[in-house]
Structure 1
Amino acid sequence: MNTMRILGLVGFLIVITFSIKCKNHEKDVLHRNDKYVSIEGRQFIDSLGRTLTLHGISVINKDPKTNYLGHISPEEFKMFKEWGFNVIRLGIIWDGLEPEPGVYNQEYLKGIDDMIQWATDSGLYVFLDMHQDLYSVDFSDGAPSWATITNNEPHLTGGVWSEAYLISPAVQTAFDNFWANAPAPDGVGIQDHYLNLWKFLAERYKDNRKVIGFDVMNEPFMGSDANKVMPLLIESYAKILAEELGEAPSSLEEVMHLWNNDKMKVLESLSDKETYKKWLDVIYEVNANFESRTLTAFYQRARDEIRKVNKNHIIFTEHSYFTNMGLVGALGEIVDEQGKKDPLVAYAAHGYDLVVDTDALTLGSNDRVELIFERIAQTGQRLDVPVLIGEWGALHGQSPELIPTANFLLNQFSKHGFSDAFWAYGKFLLDASFLDVLKKPYPVETSGSLESYSFDYDTGVFSCTWQERETITASTRIYVSDLSKLNKDAMQLNPNSKGVSIEKLEHSKAGHLVIPPSGKDAKRKLSFLLTKK
């Protein structure tokens, strides 16, 4: 009853005519217009001029034994649509695409085409992610062996796969040679090969309205300059311990021992925002030097090559590997031939708490997570581009304690107006404790500028505010995972309008609440309640 009273204060009781309509995919935006998804300010815009909120999932096969294919079916793309996802971050692998210098794998390209078509058939957008972990197929996935130049340095591994970034001379040297554009066996620079491949892909998909853009590189890593990072972080942690204990640790070796053998104490020490900032920010200069110079120059080169053949697709740029943890980003602006900001660039930031890839997933810190996404928002504002959280989650456990973790993360995205893509699809998700949290209600398309929206998972209350535009004649659409839980009597819309309807997905409980435009410039507010059944 208290929730009902709160909803009663929001606006006028809507006079609503609900018509249950089984809608086939021809009603999806992707099939109604031949325009491309675009950008306006810091928002994505669909083909009908509406603000587009992207909410989706990463799909990738990293197994060279299967030619990086065969891991997913058309039925799973239909399932993603029912879950409320409207975009797929489709991982593609350089090793699979270019097994020999300048030779492109037609079988793999055909497989990528098939997956794009399956997504299209299910009403889903796609953006392509050139994925790498530890740079190369020789160490994990990414570059082919011929493009992996290690200068015969040894490869070292740690207890967690990602530790190799910090301790493997082979991985670091391979990145150094990539950034330096060292020659491949055919004499062409390896970075040149990489960008030629992107140019080829950009031309291949230049007329495809369902592919919305290109994520140039997954989690770029700085190379051997990373050797400056850990000493700074260990020294910074020693100072934090000294403040906690009232005296300095006896030696840095003692600090290292604690760091390596008592992760729970480390996590607890760095759990509040101010302490975490103090610890982390000591590596800002090292990271900023890489992002503002090497990485920005690389993205500019990628943009210039892509734009030679494709002027309609979005280029997604990522920050560096270390910025995932919450550093202030230092990427520079990507510009056109006149030196003006390229209007089709978006920021595909990644954000992960320190517990990622460990057994301590349920011990994450909301303070740390909040800082990560506050700083991502600051970078998006500075660059004046839309933000899509291209990776988040990696929640591979089944504990119910992961439900509030996923909920808090998604609330950060709605708070800052981010789009997102969960990492990553696997069969475990079918039984994941937090799956219902991923299937949140959200404004898929908004007939104007989306100002804010929120969903309280515990109370079931959804609210949304947008500035509607008279010139947009298409409806606002809100995804709802189970339409039977929609409490029609508690719905509020201000200004109200007739003709609000429910658009049900075929053979599913899920669908969309469809709100016709008011036909004028006006601020609109919507709220509704999903009951617990």
Structure 2
Amino acid sequence: MLVGSLLLGAVSTPAVAAGADTGPPQPPRLTDDRGRVLTLRGWNIEDKKHRGEQALSAITERHFRDLRDQGFNFARLLVFWDDLEPRRSHYSTDYLKKIERILDWARRYRVHVLIDAHQDVFGPAFGHRGIPAWATRTDGLPFEPRPDDWFSEYFEPAVQRAFTHLYTDADLQRAQARMWRVLAARFADHPAVIGYDLINEPMGEIRAGEELPTAARRIEAEQLTPMYNRLADAIRSVDDDNWIFFEPTPIVGEGVPTGLGRIDDPKSVYAPHFYNSAMEAGDDYDPAAGWIEAYEAAVTDYPARYGVPVVVGEWGPLNNALPNMGRFYRDALASLNRYSSGWASYVWCYGGGYCAVDEKGRFRTNKEQTAAPYAPAVVGEPTAEEHTPETGAYRLEYRAGHGITEVRVPPRPGGWQVRVAGPAGTATPVLPSDRTAVARVHARPGATVTVVVTPRNRR
């Protein structure tokens, strides 16, 4: 989550079908080991409250069952270095077992999991979670807690210096690489794991007189890029298959293109976050302010240039019921689905605040828009893809390869009608209303196929 005093607005952007002439080159799509084009739709899953023996206890099998039941196929799972390695070189086998139990639930419900090495304001040395206290070096610089604006704590001198040491001290570099080798070696072969998010919302030290966008691009170019390449090498020493996700600083959310360089790994994914600081501070969405347009331009430049897919790792406002938030969700989803291979909204929990659903599992206001038809796996090359929120209709066009394409729908009163055009067909032209369902489409390789899914009237 990004909360702070930076201000920027938002803009409505019309839905554009994938494959349409949208100007600059678009990022490539995420694929699996069978060559299928993947789309990930889901939520973050976390337990920031508990640690030690109670770590991860707030995450239950219900989380994954409910994700599946609403049509989602993706979870970004927050894990914490301070729980994994509470003392230097002493890794918690209990914590690894708890992660494995969660991954087993995900496998049961066919949810892909991204393991996220999460930090907020560096870690427990500053009252948060992430990098262990033993790996926190401040050179005695001051830190003042700001509980009413926790994101501003990133700009405290002690926190900024701690990031500098993490990036530049050789022994901390080795410790961070060892931590990732432990995680990747343990979970490389787990069928639920799709990849590793190397560090959540990394920040760094701002020089005197340096503007924030300039500092962010310097930190990304000079510190994050070499760190990501080091960590990618560490992971590849034990895992050749899963994707490596890497983030810019959160400043990209202000429409600032990243300064990251090339990550020298063939299975890497650019994973920015999508937050507007004014909205995080309590403002309503302003459709005329230009934020979504600026953000999309900023986050597509890097992956198009370096040829890496995009999966947005976090997004979603705190105050989701303000008057313009229905418009925000429509505009945001149209934008996200235009250029990304997927996203994880923040956060799947049962209650208020950022939670996706209430205590009874019902979507909170406007968040039901995240549950819509999509194609989790396309065999071939998608050439157009469009969802129309006003009618609920979904349309996919693709050039077929060898295998079965999947289109998934959430529960909806009346169910769904599936129509297939071209030398193709499905055994399920009608999908049920009471549960998430998948239409599997067989097609002649090389053919152009169109699949249209529309809601049926309730009877």
Q: Which TM class, normalised by the smaller chain length?
A: 0.7 to 0.9
Counterpart residue number, 2:79:
92
Contact 1:131 1:142 in 2 (8 A): yes
- Alpha-carbon distance between aligned partners in 1 of 2:381 and 2:97, rounded to the nearest angstrom: 38
Residue by residue over 1:418-461, the C-alpha shift from the partner in whole angstroms, topping out at 9 and shown as x without a partner, is: 31111112213224112320101111111212233121212222
Code of the aligned partner of 2:379: S
Q: Distance between the aligned counterparts of 1:503 and 1:138, measured in 2?
A: 55
- Whole-Å Cα distance in 1 between the matches of residues 132 and 429 of structure 2? 49
Residue 495 of structure 1: aligned partner:
422
Kindly provide the CA deviation profile for residues 241-279 of structure 1, in whole angstroms up to 9, marking residues without a partner as x: xxxxxxxxxxxxxxxxxxxxxxxxxxxxxxxxxxxxxxx
The corresponding residue for 2:163 is: 175
Q: 1:210 aligns with which of 184, 189, 192?
A: 192
Structure 1 residue 310, shift from structure 2 partner: 1.5
- In structure 1, how many angstroms separate the alpha carbons of the residues matched to 2:200 and 2:55? 16
In structure 1, the partner of 2:393 is 461
Residue 158 of structure 2: SS of its match in structure 1?
Answer: helix
**Which of 163, 166, 169 is the matching residue for 2:152?**
163
Q: How far does residue 526 in structure 1 lie from its aligned partner after superposition?
A: 2.3
Say whether 1:381 aligns with 2:269: no
Q: 1:514 aligns with which of 436, 440, 453?
A: 440
Distance 1:70 1:366, change over 3 A: farther
Which amino acid is the alignment partner of residue 85 of structure 1?
A: F
- Equivalent in 392, 405, 411 of residue 328 of structure 2: 405
- In the alignment, is residue 435 of structure 1 matched against residue 367 of structure 2? yes
1:492 Cα offset (Å): 4.3
CA RMSD of the aligned region, Å?
2.3
TM-score by length of 2: 0.85
Query: Aligned equivalents of 2:116 and 2:70: distance in 1?
Result: 22
Question: Quick one: distance in 2 between partners of 1:204 and 1:299?
Answer: 20
| 1:333–1:521 CA distance, 2 compared to 1 (3 A) | same
Note the C-alpha offset of 1:502: 5.6
Question: Are the counterparts in 2 of residues 324 and 350 from structure 1 also a CA contact under 8 Å?
Answer: yes
Using the alignment, how far apart are the partners of 2:258 and 2:457 within structure 1? 41
| Structure 2 residue matching 1:374: 3-state secondary structure | helix
Superposed displacement of residue 63, structure 1: 2.1
Q: Provide the rounded CA distance (Å) in 2 between the counterparts of 1:63 and 1:503.
A: 44
Superposed counterparts of 1:6-155, under 5 Å: 42-65=28-51, 67-139=54-126, 140-155=128-143
Aligned position for 1:257: none
For residue 447 of structure 1, the aligned residue among 379, 383, 387 is: 379
Q: Which amino acid aligns with 2:393?
A: V
Q: How many Å apart are 1:503 and its aligned residue?
A: 8.7
Q: What displacement does 1:356 show?
A: 4.1
Closer, same or farther in 2 for the Cα pair 1:320/1:498, shift >3 Å? closer
Q: Distance in 2 between matches of 1:426 and 1:205?
A: 24
Query: Structure 1 residue 42: deviation in Å?
Result: 2.1
Q: Distance in 1 between matches of 2:56 and 2:44?
A: 15
Q: Specify whether residues 214 and 496 from structure 1 end up closer, same or farther in structure 2 by C-alpha distance, changes over 3 A only.
A: same
3-state DSSP of counterpart to 1:463: strand
1:525 to 450, 453, 457: 450
Say which SS state the counterpart of residue 278 (structure 2) adopts: coil
Name the CA distance, whole Å, in 1 between partners of 2:289 and 2:307: 26
* SS in structure 2 of the partner of residue 212 of structure 1: strand
| AA matched with 2:283 | A
Is 1:393–1:423's contact at 8 Å kept on the other side of the alignment? yes
Offset of residue 287 of structure 1 = 2.4
Normalized per residue, the structure richer in helix is 1
Identity of aligned residues (%): 25
For the 8 Å contact 1:81–1:124, the answer to whether it is kept is yes
Alpha-carbon distance between aligned partners in 2 of 1:503 and 1:333, rounded to the nearest angstrom: 46
- Please, which runs of 5 or more residues in structure 2 have no aligned partner? 1-26, 359-363
CA 1:440/1:307 → structure 2, altered by over 3 Å: closer, same or farther? same
State the AA in 2 paired with 1:331.
Answer: L
Q: 1:90 to 1:148 in 2, by over 3 A?
A: same
Question: Structure 1 residues 402, 481: CA separation in 2 closer, same or farther (over 3 Å shift)?
Answer: same
> How far 1:400 moved relative to its partner?
6.0
Distance in 2 between residues matched to 1:467 and 1:292, nearest whole Å: 38
CA contact (8 A) 1:415 1:452 kept: no
Q: In the superposition, relative to structure 1, how do residues 198 and 391 fare at CA in structure 2: closer, same or farther (>3 Å)?
A: same
Question: How many Å separate the matches in 2 of 1:502 and 1:138?
Answer: 56
Q: How big is the shift at 1:530?
A: 2.1
CA distance in 1, matches of 2:288, 2:99: 38
Structure 1: distance between partners of 2:444 and 2:423? 12
Question: Offset of 1:113 from its aligned partner?
Answer: 0.7
Alignment of 1:278-289 (within 5 A): 283-289=212-218
Structure 1 residue corresponding to 2:183, chosen from 197, 201, 206: 201
Are the equivalent residues in 2 in contact too, given 1:314–1:346 (CA < 8 A)?
A: yes
Using the alignment, how far apart are the partners of 2:434 and 2:174 within structure 1? Answer: 47
Which one-letter code corresponds to 1:128 in the other structure?
I
- Cα distance change on mapping 1:414 and 1:190 into 2, 3 Å: same
Q: Match for residue 292 of structure 1?
A: 221
Bigger Rg, which one: 1
Q: CA deviation at 1:354?
A: 2.4
CA contact (8 A) 1:476 1:515 kept: yes
Q: State how far apart, in whole Å, the 2-side matches of 1:119 and 1:97 are.
A: 20
Write the letter of the residue equivalent to 1:495. G
- Aligned to 1:58, the other structure's residue is in SS state strand
TM-superposition CA deviations, 1:19-66 (whole Å, max 9, x none): xxxxxxxxxxxxxxxxxxxxxx82222344321101111111112446
1:172 CA drift (Å): 1.0
Q: Find the aligned partners of 2:289 and 2:96 in 1 and give their Cα distance.
A: 41
SS in 2 for 1:298: helix
CA distance, structure 2, for counterparts of residue 464 and residue 44 of structure 1: 17
Number of matched pairs: 420
TM-score between both structures, scaled by the size of structure 1 = 0.74
Residue by residue over 1:439-487, the C-alpha shift from the partner in whole angstroms, topping out at 9 and shown as x without a partner, is: 0111111121223312121222222221212xx22x2211111355445
Equivalent of 1:343, from 263, 266, 290? 266
- The worse-fitting range, judged by mean Cα deviation, of 144-153 and 43-52 is 43-52
Per-residue CA distance 1:97-118 (angstroms, 9 max, x = gap): 1100010111111111111111
Q: CA deviation at 1:509?
A: 2.4
Offset at 1:308? 1.4
Aligned to 1:223: 205
One-letter amino acid of the structure 2 residue matched with residue 175 of structure 1: F
